[in-house]
Amino acid sequence: MATDPYALFDQWFGEARASERNESEAMAVATAGADQRPSVRMVLLKAHGPEGFTFYTHEGSAKGDNLRQNPQAALLFHWKSLFRQVRIEGPVERVSDAEADAYFATRGRDSQLGAWASDQSRPLDSRATFEQRFEEAKRRFEGRDVPRPATWGGYRVVPDRIEFWTAREHRLHERRLFTRDADRWVEGLLYP
């Protein structure tokens, strides 16, 4: 058995990148706000390592609101071609502005402009309104770099639980659970 869940994740993620036809970095993010109502959606993993698992979004989105009220999240990677999934749970912290700026600068220009045009998760009266706002953002930043909006940033899930699930015949699956105990990881097995 491995004792470093990050090394095991790196191995599995590398294999998923080689075998998954569509976005191996796609993960479900589950949050719950003060009302404790769960909410889940797909996002893309943008960084990972011993410091945690990072994604970016509009901070006024439903997930941003939930994370402000209850800074805990669960992540799920499902790599169907490998018959594997990884579940991650833990507290969430915002990434630094410098980190968010650096990542935002790597996005395509239209994606950057879309971040300015969108009030993510808020009611929209028509697609035409969003397209108009996008065109306004294009004019506003014509001929210059698009800065990161103050309402757009990153979140890092700092795991205290990481589960590695492997499908086996007859539903006799393998489940390996790593739990954080102070500054070390403890590994155990779960019944399928």
What domains can you pick out in the chain, each with its CATH number? 5-107+150-190 (2.30.110.10)
DSSP letters, 77-128, are EEEGGGTEEEEEEEEEEEPPHHHHHHHHHHS-HHHHHHHHH--TTS--S-HH
Task: Clarify whether 21 is annotated catalytic.
Answer: no
Per-residue pLDDT of the chain (192 residues; tens, 9 = 90+): 567 999 999 999 999 999 988 899 999 999 999 999 999 999 999 999 999 999 999 999 999 999 999 999 999 999 999 999 999 999 999 999 999 999 999 999 999 999 999 988 888 999 999 999 999 999 999 999 999 999 999 999 999 999 999 999 998 899 999 999 988 999 999 999
| Burial (0-12, 13-18, 19+ Cβ within 10 Å), 18 | exposed
Dihedrals phi, psi of 132, to nearest 5 degrees: -65, -45
Of 21, 139, 171, 184, which residue is the catalytic one? 171
By three-state DSSP, how is residue 51 classified? coil
pTM of this structure = 0.92
Amino acid occupying residue 147 = P
